[in-house]
Structure 1
Amino acid sequence: MFETEEKALLRPLPAVGYEISRWVYGRRVRKDGHVVFDKNFYSAPYAHVGRSVDLRVTATMLEVFDGDTRLTSHLLAPAGVINDHRTHDADLPDGPRYREWDAARVREWAGRI
């Protein structure tokens, strides 16, 4: 029966294997443009500050969703790590106020005080 009728109806297996995930609903994007998950901080597009987003978390990845739209994704911080900031430059607003705090910028800021 399988060879004659069912085999022709089979589709190929998906290219990407199934991955178990869990959802965390209603996380607010903080003023610094990050959402908190397991005591770590993951950036979301700055336009979503103050809004609620949903998180899809797998064993290795955290994805930020606004409804059905995926906004961004990050590698999940390793177990036991806390206060880690995972930030994509594309999630930050444009302008000099939000540039990286490198040594030159720290010296420039320290010279003002």
Structure 2
Amino acid sequence: MNANYRTIPSDRCLQGYSSGGFFVLYALFQQPDAFQRYISGSAILNATYDYWFQHDAQLAARDASNPIQLYLSVGELESEIYAGEGHGAEGIALTYLHGIAMVYPQTEG
């Protein structure tokens, strides 16, 4: 990744929505040290629960001295988080705005 893209190796973020959000979580489970911040929107579907339960132990065993930030979102019509929203563009925008604010908190000074 660093050879092909300008990155800050100690502070990379991966963001995706819908199937892209699923990929964010896949990357988190498969390569948990590739990014430090993850933003995943509308990716946790009933059909994918088995996958998450099969791989959560890998994440739990991760080195705690290298913490990650994870932001997850879903629309109310998909679950019960974004009131009045479904799987469309509004959910994407809210996930991006709220996700960036959460994984990159403002510091004073």
Instruction: Establish whether TM, by shorter chain, passes 0.5.
Output: no
Structure with more of its chain in helix, by fraction? 2
What TM-score comes out, normalization by structure 1 length? 0.20
Structure with more of its chain in strand, by fraction? 1
| Higher alpha-carbon Rg | 1
